[in-house]
Structure 1
């Protein structure tokens, strides 16, 4: 399990709605291999304006015609960027596998 570790990522944006929403926290196996049908944390290629933020996307299949790359998609067809815009994502740019969404906790103030 060398190079793999558990961590938490916070979702920004609406590209993975309805599965994930802005502010959701997800448990990530950093260094975990992608699995078709599961979500992953990926580094998208830069745009003409510069780097894009690290993103959560759904791994749908190996990228056609691109050995060593994965096809990733957003769940929300009206928001975000995915492989339909930028092509396959190199395996080295798949940073971790999302294991699940963490529950929301509310902060309570206790008064005596």
Structure 2
């Protein structure tokens, strides 16, 4: 489960995550890939708490990403938005604070737009 997958999985039950893992496993793609169920469940809990997912070279060495779910009010996860880039461009405060807040803001704008379109 990488980038968007972690963002999408915010509202997925532990049992469903385990079923997905039973079928697909957690193949190691880099030295930073999450390969343990326990660590993945901890990461998913952190994502639920803060509202966004971070991929720090878990899928591809040298690539970082931040993703957030798009969840209109009273709705399941509609999708996710993510921004990825090279470690050289996404580092320090940009990666730790600025980018996550920007991704959440854009996800919120999309949620409001979807809600407005549905109510019209």
Q: Which category describes the TM-score, using the shorter chain as reference length? A: under 0.3
Query: Which structure: greater strand fraction?
Result: 1
Query: Which structure: greater helix fraction?
Result: 2
TM-score, normalisation: structure 2 = 0.25
Q: Which has the higher contact order (CA 8 A, sep 6+)?
A: 1
TM-score, normalisation: structure 1 = 0.26
